[in-house]
Amino acid sequence: MSRPTLTAVFVAFLLTSSVAKPNAKDKKPKQVVPAIECDMRAGKINLPEFIVKCPAKCRETKEKVYGTGVFASISSICNAAIHNGVITNSGGKVIVMKMGGQVTYKGSFANGVRSLSLPNWRDSFSVSVGKPKKGVIYPSTLIFVPSRPTAENTVSPATEPSSTAAPPTTTHVTTPIATAPPITTSATPRVTVHEVREADSSYSVPNTSYKWNRMSTGDPTVLDPRPDNTEYEQYGQYPPEPEDHKPLSETGHTKDCKVDIAFLMDGSWSIGKRRFKIQKDFLVDVSQVISVGVAGPMMGIIQYGDDPVTEFSLKQFSSSKDLKPAISKIVQKGGLSNVGKALSYINKNFFSDANGNRGGAPNVAVVLVDGWPTDKVEEASRLARESGINIFFVTIEGPDENEKQNVVETNFVEKAVCRTNGFFSLPITSWFALRKEVQSLVKRVCDTDHLVCSKTCLNANDIAFVIDGSSSVGTGNFRTVLQFVANVTQEFEISDTDTRVGIIQYTYEQRLEFAFGQHNNKADLLNAIKRINYWSGGTSTGAAITYAADQLFSKSKPNKRKIMIVITDGRSYDDVRAPALAVHRKGVIAYSIGIAWAAQDELEYIATDPDREHSFFVDEFDNLYKYVPKIIHNICNEFNSQPRN
């Protein structure tokens, strides 16, 4: 081979080698997957399609999911992915695609996650396995929707920035969600941002005059069918801004403080004359700060020792000016510190119409104790709380370590107060520091939002659910019924002194799933509902009503409203009229809910009059959720039309 030929071959080899080596710019971009927390909702990420990585154990957090297959944008991405089988509870990558809102979202149970039903929502999303198609690169950085858009940063559709501009920080637009595909180029990805109407306040529903209350348990296991935070406008209102206590006005008087307050002052010999005088001065200060009057707070005083004595009732003085000399004239009675006897006294005698109790105002009892009680308080305070009395304890110079052996009932404050959360107890180290706590105490007793022992439509009930478990219901529909029961139940304040719930499932036979008071907090109760197993059999609704009367309402507390909610999908094999009439005569308020093949005449027999307020019918099980707010509204409306005490 000649030299020119060898040279040509060598040059060709060099050219081939240079072409074979890829340019750094032509390398395939690596997909960076941003990590999110279990509670991240899809609507909070301002991208039409994206990929994320979920952590492990999201199922344990019980973050809310609404829908099946297609989920409302207020759903947890990770729990939606677990529900859909895209990932397991060990976590993993998920691709999220946004889409328009749905007319309805059906709840279901899958892969250990309970999704909830929702009437409708503005925006939706779907989830898929986090393996991008070849050539597809998703944004490596998530863009979040601001929680409170302002007029200054709101972008109208006409001025929406292009995909090459910096990501916007707005959410409040009126155009629908765009569902543009992800980037499919091997070059540096461009992020096309679309506004998500997660905070659209234009959505409204008819006013039912029932105000939804946010649950205060904070327990992540609660099955809550309602959106939270900015999504409250789905129900026509926004939640109140959180605040610890209502403020005092500039004049020192409380705003909107309409409560009936009984102060139980310690008149025992152990207090001494000097400290008794300090106690009276403290009560004078309180009476001036709260601005006593018929349109605001009313105040009475009981002095206790061996026996309690009413110094003056609620109706005796209608102004702070008149209260001051009356308190100053109180003479110490002496005796032991029988607090339990004093609590029984106010429960039976003080908060009565004759003494000026107004019914519509919360009842508050503030107990001042020097040291510790000389009798037991637990039983007396329990009965007082069940009557709707909010019990506060102000303990001054409580027992030290050497004196605790002399205390008749240990933890007496926790056994007596309305809640053991610190709100209802005020420990003070010295009598000389007592008057400094006037403002703190007044704020608490006037904070009607926190007076949870006041009798309301949400905490004054014994509710029995009588559930049809017959063969015609089927397993899937039975789970839907349980979800409905949970959605109704979780609106109430649940404890041994608040609303209690019992459940009976019936076929030809009856089974007590659990009794009143068996589950005394909301989380335990909702978990117990979820664990109920479908029975299957015939339909004997009349016998089930009689069974509810014997097994549940016979053990109902005297101060509780007795409510029965019967759910059935067919005609009963036995008579329902006589059993229903019997429970009506015992004061049970009966609601009937019929589904599909339920007999209208039987529903009317079961329901308390008027039927239109207590009897409901749906053609499909999946439509049960529609009656949750209606039932709560009717229960509250009926309660509020009756005297409170």
Same structural domain, 382 and 406? yes
User: Do 301 and 312 touch, CB atoms closer than 8 A?
Assistant: yes
Closest CA to 98 of 175, 203, 170, 204: 175
The residue among 151, 170, 197 that closes a domain is 197
The answer on 286 and 190 residing in a single domain is no
Q: Is residue 245 part of a domain?
A: no
Give strand pairing partners of 260. 298, 363
Both 438 and 513 in one domain: the answer is no
SS3 595: strand
Q: Quick check: is 239 in a domain?
A: no
What's the burial of 438, exposed, middle or buried (CB within 10 Å: 0-12/13-18/19+)? buried
Residue 134, Cβ density class (10 Å: 0-12 exposed, 13-18 middle, ≥19 buried): exposed
Q: How many domains, in total, are found in the chain?
A: 3
Domain identity same for 303 and 432 = yes
What's the CATH code of the domain at 54? 2.170.130.20
Within 15-59, strands assigned E span 49-54
Rounded mean pLDDT for each run of 10 residues along the chain, 645 residues in total: 53 50 59 92 92 91 85 92 92 93 84 80 90 88 67 33 32 34 40 27 27 28 34 29 34 66 94 93 94 89 95 91 93 93 92 81 92 91 87 88 78 89 90 91 89 82 97 94 96 87 96 94 94 94 97 90 96 95 96 94 95 92 92 88 56
Predicted confidence at residue 253, as pLDDT, reads 44
Tokens of 228: 């939270």
Q: How, if at all, do strands 67-68 and 70-72 pair?
A: antiparallel
Which CATH number covers residue 291? 3.40.50.410
Give the model's pLDDT for residue 226: 33
> Is 373 a member of any domain?
yes
Out of 143, 176, 197, pick the residue that ends a domain: 197
Q: Does the residue 6 lie in any domain? A: no
Whether residue 491 sits in one domain with residue 421:
no
Report the alpha-carbon angle 211-625-549, nearest 5. Answer: 90
Question: Residue for token digits 């009126």?
Answer: 174
Answer yes or no: do 128 and 35 share one domain.
Answer: yes
Selection from 99, 98, 87 nearest residue 53 by Cα: 87
Residue 190 lies inside a defined structural domain of this protein? yes
Give the angle subtended at the CA of 598 by the CAs of 596 and 599, to the nearest 5°.
140
* Cα angle, residue 157 at apex, residues 153 and 160 outer, rounded to 5°: 65
Task: For residue 16, tell me if it sits in a domain.
Answer: no
Same domain, 541 and 431: no
Whether 251 is in a domain gets the answer no
Instruction: Check whether residue 439 and residue 476 sit in a common domain.
Output: no
Do 441 and 478 share a domain, yes or no?
no
**Statement to judge: residues 435 and 467 lie in one domain:** no
Residues facing 464 on adjacent strands: 502, 564
- For residue 388, the SS3 value is coil
For 318, the domain range is 260-450
Please tell me the predicted confidence (pLDDT) of residue 26.
Answer: 55
**pLDDT value of residue 358:** 80
Same domain, residue pair 512 and 540: yes
475-489 and 522-530 helices cross at what angle (nearest 10)?
A: 170
If one counts every other C-beta atom within 10 angstroms of the C-beta of residue 318, the result is 16
Q: Decide which of 426, 450, 474 is a domain's last residue.
A: 450
Instruction: Give the CA distances from residue 344 to residues 368, 427, 559, in Å, rounded to whole numbers and listed in that order.
Output: 15, 23, 15
Co-location of 439 and 465 in the same domain: no
The per-residue b/e assignment along 221-251, b for 16 or more CB within 10 angstroms, e otherwise, is: ebbbbbbeebbbbbbeeebeeeeebbebeee
496 lies in some domain: yes
